[in-house]
A and B are shown apart, each in its own frame.
Chain A
């Protein structure tokens, strides 16, 4: 046998090995996600902590980190003021992370009107969310900390629903459901809405029910102050402080509760570059957590074997993208490996096809489950287009992972924090001519955004300073 033929044989054997390994990895994820979809579809939620909403009102601090958020700052502060939480037990900490626009003026305006709002201003370069939370924490007086990103619009009873699970002393953190409101903004926004629905309605609820391992998402959620202290506080260098804290809480034996009923509206990226930057931050931060905590997860005495396996699969979720690319490349090698290999490898390639179908199908089953339970007929019709999102995300995740490992090899950190681009053209709550911030009646427009109708003053008017 010639040297070239031997080399070709080695390459084909290597491609077959890669194909087998990647197919096995994808199969594990396929089984995991199929189980989640079937469980969520058929089983009643094991517990509903939101039933306790309003029975216990601990002292609460709501953190709102902001960096150049003048388009949305007024809305989040207004929405938080409208929440039905007892103001004697509430502190809203608006954190201005080195904004260069009108964010500080908006915060100052609210602070002068409402005692319940306090502000922390960070100067210099933007610090990032985790660092901003860390620097603002000394000013927090609550027993429970909730965190909201500035583009979120909490409903009136949300704070009560989110603090309810803390009645259980084992609960260290809580997470609510994120629902995009700008679904009409673009096709991408609609697809991301479908993805979010799957992530919360199906995956979070199933993980909560099956393993008691919901994930704290860094917004529309919170942490018990004592649990945060026990876990070591916020890590300023973490790109995804939510996953980082989730890992440390789980390793330390705390439970994280997911409240599916606690829905909060958010804004998803409407343009792919913004989505790609968001995805890059998530991938790098998430993978960094995998490297930091996989040993801790495996050795934690508080986690069962199933919980450890699920936690590791969650941390390694982004590795499925390069696995899929490796499988594609292996199929190509087999395809171009010559006539004999081509015919012989066809069943294997087809087997991969089956696995790919199965793996994709698991994801699509989750998406379908969420759309069905939500009653979203139009979203269900968008399912074929999620293939585009699937392909695009696979590429973006691979690029982010390459960047992460190059930086790691160079001894650099996981990368700098970047803010997600906002697409809201103007604040939804407009300050009236009389300076009042009455809660207006909101009317939904075609793009999915809500616009206020004036002269419909709600109860918050009567709670302004000095009235």
Chain B
């Protein structure tokens, strides 16, 4: 005969197995780490998926407002930092995204900035080579940046007539970022909701990260447009990689690690220094 027993999982963050007022030195002896687990309830999964769905839906339906808000922030930042604007132009992103306006930034021809630009290029290359030599752990990342720079320089030398204006760069940026905004809630749901002691904390992390991703994107785009204004198109690929993909992944990881550290504290209690 098989006997099935239903037991409730103990939640260290919300309940103590010892009655209040009992003077125990420890309220609970934690299970060894090899046996620990954090049960995923169907309610929690549903909450994470619902939050991700609602956020994606919001970003889909209010795309026009969000893009306008994003672009207005970029405009304010450029005006605040004194980057000259030649006006605004309407930008058609794609057939499935609403159009938005974007500031037009004068980007100099390679001839206009040639000497200073190549000096900056040389300085950057030397800096990257130093990093490559000095920090072995950074080598592959730095090598990739060097390849990007060299490819970009080759492109500029071989096709000096090819130009990228600020509107085209913004178009490229927004199409990539918008996809990230649509995907991000689902990734966040997986990363933040499953392990937080309280599910609502996970949902707040998702929403907060999503909001910050928009602001962060505006900041990065304004920075890239500023650099484009002073340096022309030579650094476009590097900017796109470093301030695009790499920045998003880094943002996600920083948020993940901070929320994880807080979750560890709440789950198992903060450890003393000698506990490692």
Residue numbers in A under 8 Å from B151 (CB-CB): 332, 336
B215: interface (CB < 8 Å): no
B64: interface (CB < 8 Å): no
Residue numbers in B under 8 Å from A45 (CB-CB): 34-35, 37
Residue numbers in B under 8 Å from A38 (CB-CB): 40, 190, 194
Complex Cα–Cα for A373 and B265 (A): 11
Complex Cα–Cα for A177 and B253 (A): 26
- Tell me if A388 and B257 are in contact (CB < 8 A): no
- Tell me if B40 and A44 are in contact (CB < 8 A): no
Which among B113-121, B140-148, B216-224 touches the partner chain?
B140-148
A188-B237 in contact given A48-B35, A332-B148, A391-B144 (Cβ < 8 Å): no
Residue numbers in B under 8 Å from A374 (CB-CB): 33
Contact of B137 among A40, A371, A389 (CB under 8 A): A389
5 contacting pairs across A/B (C-beta < 8 A): A187-B137, A336-B152, A346-B172, A353-B244, A357-B248
- Tell me if A336 and B155 are in contact (CB < 8 A): yes
- Tell me if A380 and B257 are in contact (CB < 8 A): yes
- Tell me if B264 and A377 are in contact (CB < 8 A): yes
Contact of A261 among B35, B37, B136 (CB under 8 A): B35
Complex Cα–Cα for A353 and B187 (A): 13
Q: Which residues of B contact A (CB under 8 A)?
A: 30, 32-40, 94, 136-141, 143-144, 147-148, 151-152, 155, 162, 164, 168, 171-172, 175-177, 179-180, 183, 187, 190-191, 194-195, 237, 240, 244-246, 248-250, 252-254, 256-258, 260-261, 263-265, 267-268, 270-271, 274, 276
Q: How far is the CB of A377 from chain B (nearest CB, A)?
A: 4
- Tell me if B172 and A342 are in contact (CB < 8 A): yes
Residue numbers in B under 8 Å from A350 (CB-CB): 175-177, 179-180
Complex Cα–Cα for A342 and B175 (A): 11
Contacts A41-B37, A375-B264, A395-B140 given; 13 further ones with Cβ under 8 A? A38-B190, A261-B35, A271-B136, A336-B152, A343-B172, A350-B180, A357-B187, A360-B249, A372-B38, A373-B36, A377-B265, A388-B137, A391-B138
Q: Is the interface of B mostly helix, strand, loop or mixed?
A: helix
Complex Cα–Cα for A391 and B249 (A): 13
- Tell me if B253 and A273 are in contact (CB < 8 A): no
Complex Cα–Cα for A218 and B154 (A): 48
Residue numbers in A under 8 Å from B252 (CB-CB): 357, 361
Q: How far is the CB of B97 from chain A (nearest CB, A)?
A: 10
Interface size bucket, A side? 35 or more
- Tell me if A364 and B140 are in contact (CB < 8 A): no
Closest to A362 in B: B190
- Tell me if A335 and B261 are in contact (CB < 8 A): no
- Tell me if A375 and B257 are in contact (CB < 8 A): no
A339-B168 in contact given A332-B148, A346-B176 (Cβ < 8 Å): yes
Query: Which residues of A317-375 have CB atoms within 8 Å of chain B's CB atoms?
Result: 328, 332, 335-336, 338-339, 342-343, 346-347, 349-351, 353-354, 356-358, 360-361, 364-365, 368-369, 371-375
Q: How far is the CB of B119 from chain A (nearest CB, A)?
A: 24
Residue numbers in A under 8 Å from B260 (CB-CB): 368, 371-372, 380, 383
Residue numbers in A under 8 Å from B245 (CB-CB): 353, 356
Q: How far is the CB of A23 from chain B (nearest CB, A)?
A: 13
Complex Cα–Cα for A392 and B141 (A): 7
Complex Cα–Cα for A336 and B252 (A): 28
Complex Cα–Cα for A368 and B162 (A): 45
A394: interface (CB < 8 Å): yes
Closest to B246 in A: A387
A357-B143 in contact given A336-B151, A351-B179, A368-B260 (Cβ < 8 Å): no
Interface 1/0s, chain A 177-218, versus B by CB < 8 A? 100000000011000000000000100000000000000000
Residue numbers in B under 8 Å from A368 (CB-CB): 191, 195, 256-257, 260
Closest to B176 in A: A350
A382: interface (CB < 8 Å): yes
A375-B136 in contact given A347-B179, A381-B257 (Cβ < 8 Å): no
Among A177, A271, A369, A383, the most chain B Cβ lie within 10 Å of the Cβ of A383
A272: interface (CB < 8 Å): yes
- Tell me if B195 and A335 are in contact (CB < 8 A): no
